[in-house]
Structure 1
Amino acid sequence: MGLTSIKARLHSKKVLVVIDVNHQSMLETLVGGHDWFGPQSRVIITTRDKHLLTVQGVDAVYEVQKLEDDNAIQLFSYYAFKNKPPTRDVMKLLDQITSYAQGLPLALKVLGCSLCDRNADYWTDKLNQLKKISNGEIQEVLQISFDGLEDNEKEIFLDIACFFRGRGQTFVKKILESCGFSMVSGIENLIDKSLITITQDDRLEMHDLLQEVGWQIIRKTSPKEPGRRSRLWEQKDVSHILKRETGAQEVEGIFFDLSGLEEMNFTTKAFSQMTNLRLLEIYRSNLRDTGGKMQCKLHISDDFKFHYDELRYLHWDEYPCESLPFDFESENLVHFCMPRSRHLTQLWKGQKVFGNLEFVDVSYSQYLKETPDFSRATNLEVLVLKGCTNLRKVHPSLGYLSKLILLNLENCTNLEHLPSIRWLVSLETLILSGCSKLEKLPEVPQHMPYLSKLCLDGTAITDFSGWSELGNFQENSGNLDCLNELNSDDSTIRQLPSSSVVLRNHNASPSSAPRRSHSIRPHCTLTSLTYLNLSGTSIIRLPWNLERLFMLQRLELTNCRRLQALPVLPSSIERMNASNCTSLELVSPQSVFKRFGGFLFGNCFKLRNCHSKMEHDVQSVASHVVPGAWRSTYASWHPNVGIPFSTVFPGSEIPDWFRHHSQGHEINIEVPPDWYINSNFLGFALSAVMAPQHDSRAWYMYCDLDTHDLNSNSHRICSFFGSWTYQLQHTPIESDHVWLAYVPSFLSFSCEKWSHIKFSFSSSGGCVVKSCGFCPVYIKGTSDEGDYSSGSALDEPRRHAAKPSRISYQ
């Protein structure tokens, strides 16, 4: 039937068409377009290539999912047992069968048929065989998808199956692109053909049986001699070619796991014929199990070398030599990684050409004394020297790597000097943490537009003035526009830049101010600061214009024992921890918290005006609640709901504006019939006095809400918990403290049917509840306590006329 006749004969008829196609021409020939068939027709297309459906413009795409265990067992049993009940011995092996098939219907069917009417011994033997060689019929069907790939896609698939399954997509793309593969289209086509998947954390994955397909394809190229295969990943095969020196030019990649081996010889002769080697990884999968100690004893000759010309990827855990081969040089090498190389004292001498090298990691190579000349590695982006405890000299060429993005020198404890880094204009991350002998920051460029993380904690740096030029700009010029984390905790910095410092998107962690600094200059303009941590510093005061940091969400001031007062804080603040600020006396009454969050003043015993200020803050938070957002949160968490706003401060009494309070941990109130007036109820303010018992660390607050209806039936509405106090885990409270919280109204609130309300308070972490209270918060047109804006977050009828105020029952 030709194209014209199919459309002519069926365009007015209601039809059901089911076809399986894998070529676009076949699809166009059989189903054409939407106008080929009559109204209410249905066309179901199955294919191995998802992209065909996109090109055809189908209405909906459904990806067939793997079977769950119960359904998998049911399908397998249909073919394996027919109408005969299985024996008990056979039933014990079902889990192994379903584990092998991993929900793939084809595998379950083929295995079920092959094991039908067989005894348990046969099943066991078959399973042992499958662990070594996959079922041929399954492999034959699955390989159809592979056979339909272009050469570029086949090579990518085989590299992933043999080497890179479970690795990050970005990492694999970079390595294989350097091998000449077209990765963007290649990955997309493999996904469309369901040969690989991308996990939520951007890793490349595939079904076990598809990986077996890739392995079998490689094995079949040279069944008896692994030295003539393109990819080697099994320990026994790599051991074979190294011992017998049979590696040939066909070998492109070796991933060698040394785990479980006692000793191994690496000789130049064994590698001499592998002229096309592009991927080499030598590692130990049991590294953690052995406490980081090398088990396999490697014997490497003094003249050891291998072919580097085609090498793109080199990863060698615990490289056993003092340096690389004298002629080691590779224009094509992209990724170089030799962590934990305890014998390594230097990488190479003189200038070596590494024109495409982007990544170098020799972390924890504790005897490495100096870095090599990087002047011919101009594309280097990442250099990791973390834990190189004997590193004393950094070659000046490092300062000219204009494409370097990350430099990690953490815990290089003998490093005393860094060369100028004035040309590192692409630098995003500079980590000097733990460089305890480093006293001075290196000379830096005047413009570092991408620097986002600077870690100076644990250094001996006493002067930050060398970086002062970074701040000599107008607010929008952006010399440190991307800085979002500045960590100077436990450093000895005494002097900040003398000029204004522009630190956009700044997250200071864990301390953005020096320990010996007494103030932050009032002209500091951290225009997009979101997280500022000054914990443990000797700061006495904060800048008066801190309120201008309208993006600041989190402020950490723990253990600032000389801090005396807090200025007006920005209304954007969501979390603040000022615990152990033992000199703190005043929080500006003009600071108004408007957002859900937590505000901790543990052990701030000199603090005044907390009770009255917190009343104001509760009213402010209540007026800025978005009802729909809170109700959605409540519904998703119910019945255990996190308290959205809470604070802790020293005290032994429930605030006096709480009319309802009680000794002990429970309070039960009779509700008058008209208490829920005109739907103006906003929520509850809750409070409890906590007394420390033993070691009061990391404590949580809990509050159960129970009601009685008009028939005296009890109902548990929900259980609230306050997790903000967990931030006090390193600050055990020393005496009674007041916990105060606000809970908005919520969707299931059927208050008009209640006769009593009961709140029951409890705590974990070594604190007991001495007394408690609650206070309903309403919207009213006037307030005796002051004029508080209702805020734009309220419902429309409330927005202009209503003003929030606390109301207590009489």
Structure 2
Amino acid sequence: MAASSSSSSNELPESWQVFINFRGMELRNNFVSHLERALTEAGINYYIDNKEMRSEDLKVLFKRIQQSQIALAIFSSMYTESNWCLDELVEIMEQVKKGQLKIIPIFFNVTPEEVKDEGGHFRYMMYRESRKKGSDLQKWENALESVPSKMGLTLKECNGSERLLVEKIVKSVKKVLAQLVSRPNVLPQDTSQVSSGGDTSFQMPKEKPVFEDEMNRRLKQLDEKIDIDCKETQVLGIVGMPGIGKTNLAELHFHMKKTKFLFRKIISSIREKSEHQEPDCLKKELLTGQDYNDDASMFNKKLFFVLDDVSDKKQVDFLVENLSLIKKGSKIVITTRDKSSIAGLAQETYVVPGLNDKDALELFEYHAFADQVSSTKGNFPKLSKQFVDYAGGNPLALEELGKELHGEDEAHWEKRLVTLPYRCNPKILTELRTSYDKLSYQQEDAFLDIACFFRSEEEDYVKCLLDQYDSESGEDAVRELAEKLLISISAGRIEMHNILCTFGKKLGSSSHENKSGERMWAYRTITETLCLKEMISPDQTKKGERKVRGIFLDTSKEEKVGTHPIWKYGKDDTKIPLDMKAFTDRFNQMDLRYLKIYDSLCPQNCKVILPDGLEFPFQEVRYLHWQNFPLEELPQDFNPQNLIDLRLTHSTMIERLWEAVTEVPRLKWVDLSYSVKLTDLSALSNAYHLRRLNLEGCKILEKLPGDMENMKSLVFLNLRDCVMLSSLPENLALVSLKTLILSGCSRFTKFDLISKNLEFLHLEGTAISSLPSTIQDFKKLVLLNLKNCKRLESLPNCLEKLKALEELMLSGCFKLKGLPEIREKMENLQILLLDGTSIQCLSVNDHIVNQQPLQMNSLSMLRRLCLSSNDMIYSLQSSISQLYHLKWIDLRYCTNLTSLLTLPPNLQYLNAHACTSLKTVASPLARLMPTDQISSSFIFTNCDKLEHAAKNEIICYAHSKSQLLSDALHRHNKGVAFENLVATCFPGSEVPVWFSYRASGAVLERELLPSDHGFVGIALCAVVSFENYKAQNNNFMVKCLCEFNNVDTSSSFFSFHIGDLSEEKDDQRTIKSTHVFIGFTSWLNINHCQELGLRRRCGPSKACISFLVTDGTREVAKCKVLKCGFSLVCESGNGSWDANAEASDDASSEVTESDYYFQDAIDGPTDSDDDSSSERAGESRLLGLLKRGWLSTLSPFVSSSPFST
């Protein structure tokens, strides 16, 4: 006997992944040889008898079966002629019954029914063999009856292709191997689960999902980090939070690669073992069972080790010290929850991600439901998704929550869902506890503070709050928790997994679990503690005994009036009475660090009252948030020495913070926004380390602290809607300030500030008439907002000095008649808003609008230009074509604009609504690039004077853009794009003739031609009558609903908007006449369906398209869809009609003006024409253009008959 394996070793391995049971005379030199090659290439080791005449004892074969994980039983027509095959099958089924082996039946040139047929030819050969050899026929019959036929692979299912069958076998083997690694005891442990009768509907027990695609993706990522064939010694760390699947992944990788190493081993549960064994237990276990007795002999061999669950660097010191001695080419994989435990040892680290939503739901449902049907009943699908969202892709959480909910009804599920954020599953708690117990006191406090209070907050902010008196302690704690995978940093914020947060909240709220004090966040617990003192019995607790670290009271969570004892004492049912004096008596004054009283739904509704006033002797408080603070100032005993963050927003009573000027050495954040009675800020005079100050909505505040220039760290100052503020302190210099907001300060007349680091300046709605020349010193200024400065008449000539400026917003400055001459390049200016001004020209060396030529080099990076509501603009001059980056132009309500003879070459959005004098547009409307993947929109509503040639250009652009987008998206994305990629609208009353399918009314149903099956997108058109309709909510859309019926009775649905005329401002948009709306979308995933359809002859056979007009909430009855049409867009060169080929003889003919007009396609027939003659005339003119090659790019929109309806 010989063993075949993908290993390069000449020795037999200890075990085999696959045992192949087959009839050698029939299959050895054909099918099985191909199977062997495929298994070898896949890295799967297998055992096969390589001798036709077997000389080995049958017991040896049985041992090989017992050493295998999977048996491939290949049934062929001559299978039962061999008692060896049948005896092997008996042993295989015995091992299956014991749960020691997995069988994959393969029916090569026989069917499962033939194998089960007791009177058939297949069984007859077995009976003959039994009589000849005197063998035990009953055992053979039982073995054949036990074979799970419905789980087998058949050659017939592969259309007779042996290659496809081999591929299926290899894929199935991989799937089972992955399953056995992730769930070793997946096989049945008792014989009751294996059929012994003739039931061909036999099914194996419900199996845990394997997620083959996801596991293969992860294994591939591992292969990129550790190269098994590399001749260098490599150490890979697999890290992740508890329960994420590190061990399963490492074991699967090990079993896939172990055949390349003679000496390999998995050492599991190192963390647990190290707690009960000697420090060198790892070294001893590595030596156990190997052919070496000391370090030197071990290191002479090429090794492959998996060290599972390492929690401390000391556990791998043995390897670190001897790493250089290990033979080259060895591989070591270490799984750990703590990155720091492998620092300096692992060359590469792989962080195990959570399961994707699909796999997570599958795993949860596997544990939560007995069968697939139950998971779809009632409200279970919605509830399941909520539990899966909470689990965040963590397999342990998905499994345990599923098991916990298994067999329970919907009511129980709903109750458990409510308790998820604060009640931890016992097994999950135990698993997380092992990580928590390894933390230092400082790390514990940081973890619990984040879990209870500061999840999703900015990283720097949390570090400041966590700092002890050592300024770096918070930074250290955050870094260490991130290394231990207990938190993560995402987009500058500290995030924590849901199960860790729940675990932290449970521990944090317990007075027995942590020495630093309780973290109180549950509404009922807090109100029972802070309610009126009459409710507290004198002996309930000793004075100052209870330790509290933080209190977060969300008053929006208050219980219904009458259900809680505090309402017995409250005269006003809308307010919550708190006895803060009793609180200070009960709790240790040196412990409280965080206090927040707020309403998460509406700050103004935070109505807490203090019947006996407020005493606040807590020395350690560094975080004080109190919405709608009920006093005129903070209490006299309040000590802000350690205060870092103070927020008293929406406080209707507070007039000042405190009376005396006090040192606030640590204060960095202050938010007093909407404190409408605030008048005095002298308390902040010594806040020299302040970073952010928010005073928005402090309506009677007249002045700022006089010592503000000493706030050297202030980077953000918000004074929005401080309507009594007229100026800043004279010669104010704020060296670190980056953002200054003065919007809505209607009495603010003089802007005078020195700040070389200013980046964002908002002066919207102020009373300034000009800007000082010192603004040129704002070298870092990115945004200058001067919207609605109604007194602003001019800008300083030094505007061009603002080299970093990206946005200049002058909307609504109606007294502004011009901009200063721009002689120098403003290379970063991207957004220029001039709507509602009286500007007639831009002096950029020359002019952009009116009648002067223009050199646009100075504004070369401009991307967005708004000139709307300007009656002084008559045209845009040709030099605007130099703005290659300009994508967006707004010209709405430019009522004197007559022509758009040239436009920027890469324009994507043009809104010319209500340009009532507009007659001509650019030709072509915009440049088209073959690789373009960007959507475009051109709006010409209420442009009633548009000439026919202009409308033709709009139609031609929609044609060409649709085709180019379809091609580009098909090439590059291969996905789904249910959005309006091309949209245009203009006054008109007819569907253009190039739409293959047209109809009157709002619904169009058509049988599709076979040539339509290859479409990759759809162009749609609707003609809508408005009758002076006014949009009531400034939102207006033309919506399309599409349904495609296939030959095989299946259907496909989608919807999208082909026109969106939403108005940003409060003005209602009125549309006065009938308009044509054209849109295009790409349905990219239809390609796969069509490929299948072509093979099965089940492509789309019928289309039903319906249109409606909506205001975003309901259908608009006053607006009527008069006509509609659609065309299916094919990929270029994919069977599309070629206009040039039909008219090659006339390709060079001149196009006359009469040919260029599609009059009947736009405005309908004249009074002297009947419908049919008009349509023929329009089609004739369109055909003239097609023959001359002008519209060759439009041909894919035309079916086999270009004008068919």
Provide the TM-score with structure 1 as the length reference. Answer: 0.74
The 5 Å alignment of 1:102-113 reads 102=391
* Cross-structure match for 2:1026: 692
Among 831, 836, 847, the alignment partner of 1:531 is 831
Measured in 1, the distance between the counterparts of 2:703 and 2:589 equals 35
* Cross-structure match for 2:436: 146
Tell me which moved more, 632-641 or 356-365: 632-641
Measured in 1, the distance between the counterparts of 2:501 and 2:931 equals 54
* Cross-structure match for 1:46: 335
Give the letter for the 1:599 counterpart: L
Measured in 1, the distance between the counterparts of 2:872 and 2:452 equals 60
- Matching of residue 489 in structure 1 with residue 785 in structure 2: no
Among 225, 229, 251, the alignment partner of 2:517 is 229
Distance apart, 1:601 and its partner CA: 0.3
The 5 Å alignment of 1:124-203 reads 139-177=429-467, 180=470, 182-198=473-489, 202-203=493-494
Judging changes above 3 Å, is the alpha-carbon distance between structure 1 residues 69 and 158 closer, same or farther for their aligned structure 2 residues? Answer: same
The C-alpha deviation readout for 1:69-108, integer Å capped at 9, x for no partner, is: 5534645789xx9xxx9xx9xx99x979978994866678
* Cross-structure match for 1:594: 906
Give the letter for the 2:968 counterpart: R
The C-alpha deviation readout for 1:634-672, integer Å capped at 9, x for no partner, is: 86586545454555556678999x99998969999x99x
Measured in 1, the distance between the counterparts of 2:627 and 2:601 equals 9
Q: Where does structure 2 lack aligned partners over 5 or more consecutive residues? A: 1-282, 288-292, 534-540, 559-565, 567-575, 849-855, 934-963, 1111-1118, 1130-1136, 1153-1188, 1196-1201
Measured in 1, the distance between the counterparts of 2:759 and 2:1151 equals 48
Measured in 1, the distance between the counterparts of 2:589 and 2:412 equals 46
- Matching of residue 212 in structure 1 with residue 503 in structure 2: yes
Among 1066, 1069, 1083, the alignment partner of 1:731 is 1069
Secondary structure of the corresponding residue to residue 61 of structure 1:
strand
Secondary structure of the corresponding residue to residue 586 of structure 1:
coil
* Cross-structure match for 1:441: 750
The C-alpha deviation readout for 1:421-480, integer Å capped at 9, x for no partner, is: 6302322222222223x14033222x53332241423x3x14123x23213xxxxxx624
Among 386, 397, 419, the alignment partner of 2:707 is 397
- Does the Cα contact within 8 Å between 1:602 and 1:737 map onto a contact in 2? no
- Does the Cα contact within 8 Å between 1:603 and 1:734 map onto a contact in 2? no
Give the letter for the 1:48 counterpart: R
Among 962, 965, 968, the alignment partner of 1:631 is 968
The C-alpha deviation readout for 1:591-634, integer Å capped at 9, x for no partner, is: 33324x21110110112322xx1x3234x234673779973478
- Does the Cα contact within 8 Å between 1:178 and 1:312 map onto a contact in 2? no
The 5 Å alignment of 1:345-744 reads 345-372=655-682, 374-398=684-708, 400-420=710-730, 422-436=732-746, 438-445=747-754, 448-457=756-765, 459=766, 461-465=767-771, 467-471=772-776, 479-489=778-788, 491-504=790-803, 506=805, 508=807, 511-512=810-811, 514-523=813-822, 526-543=826-843, 544=846, 547-548=856-857, 549-567=859-877, 568-569=879-880, 570-587=883-900, 589-595=901-907, 597-610=908-921, 613=922, 615-618=923-926, 620-622=927-929, 625=932, 631-632=968-969, 636=973, 640-644=977-981, 646=983, 648=985, 691-693=1025-1027, 694-695=1029-1030, 698-700=1035-1037, 722=1058, 725-726=1061-1062, 731-736=1069-1074
**Larger relative contact order, structure 1 or 2 (CA cutoff 8 Å, min sep 6):** 1
Judging changes above 3 Å, is the alpha-carbon distance between structure 1 residues 107 and 417 closer, same or farther for their aligned structure 2 residues? Answer: closer
The C-alpha deviation readout for 1:22-81, integer Å capped at 9, x for no partner, is: 122323436965984797x87554322234355432656352747935534645789xx9
Aligned residue pair count: 747
Measured in 1, the distance between the counterparts of 2:1123 and 2:386 equals 60
- Does the Cα contact within 8 Å between 2:360 and 2:395 map onto a contact in 1? no
Judging changes above 3 Å, is the alpha-carbon distance between structure 1 residues 96 and 594 closer, same or farther for their aligned structure 2 residues? Answer: closer
The C-alpha deviation readout for 1:362-391, integer Å capped at 9, x for no partner, is: 111111123325331122221111122222
Among 274, 284, 297, the alignment partner of 2:598 is 284
* Cross-structure match for 1:798: none
Provide the TM-score with structure 2 as the length reference. Answer: 0.52
Percent identity of paired positions between Structure 1 and Structure 2: 22
Give the letter for the 2:479 counterpart: E
Judging changes above 3 Å, is the alpha-carbon distance between structure 1 residues 33 and 565 closer, same or farther for their aligned structure 2 residues? Answer: same
Judging changes above 3 Å, is the alpha-carbon distance between structure 1 residues 59 and 689 closer, same or farther for their aligned structure 2 residues? Answer: same
- Does the Cα contact within 8 Å between 1:278 and 1:313 map onto a contact in 2? no
Secondary structure of the corresponding residue to residue 704 of structure 2:
coil
Judging changes above 3 Å, is the alpha-carbon distance between structure 1 residues 625 and 127 closer, same or farther for their aligned structure 2 residues? Answer: closer
- Does the Cα contact within 8 Å between 2:698 and 2:721 map onto a contact in 1? yes
Q: Where does structure 1 lack aligned partners over 5 or more consecutive residues? A: 472-477, 677-682, 787-803
Judging changes above 3 Å, is the alpha-carbon distance between structure 1 residues 11 and 407 closer, same or farther for their aligned structure 2 residues? Answer: same
Secondary structure of the corresponding residue to residue 596 of structure 2:
strand
- Does the Cα contact within 8 Å between 2:811 and 2:836 map onto a contact in 1? no
Distance apart, 1:687 and its partner CA: 8.1
Distance apart, 1:118 and its partner CA: 13
- Matching of residue 266 in structure 1 with residue 601 in structure 2: no
The C-alpha deviation readout for 1:400-425, integer Å capped at 9, x for no partner, is: 53432222122223334432363023
The C-alpha deviation readout for 1:164-199, integer Å capped at 9, x for no partner, is: 234343431232236545344432332332323445
Measured in 2, the distance between the counterparts of 1:511 and 1:637 equals 42
Judging changes above 3 Å, is the alpha-carbon distance between structure 1 residues 206 and 14 closer, same or farther for their aligned structure 2 residues? Answer: closer
Measured in 1, the distance between the counterparts of 2:997 and 2:407 equals 75
- Structure with higher Rg: it is 2
Distance apart, 1:307 and its partner CA: 3.3
- Does the Cα contact within 8 Å between 1:667 and 1:772 map onto a contact in 2? no
Tell me which moved more, 640-649 or 312-321: 640-649
* Cross-structure match for 2:652: 342
Measured in 1, the distance between the counterparts of 2:323 and 2:973 equals 44
Judging changes above 3 Å, is the alpha-carbon distance between structure 1 residues 27 and 640 closer, same or farther for their aligned structure 2 residues? Answer: same
Distance apart, 1:15 and its partner CA: 5.4
Judging changes above 3 Å, is the alpha-carbon distance between structure 1 residues 241 and 318 closer, same or farther for their aligned structure 2 residues? Answer: closer
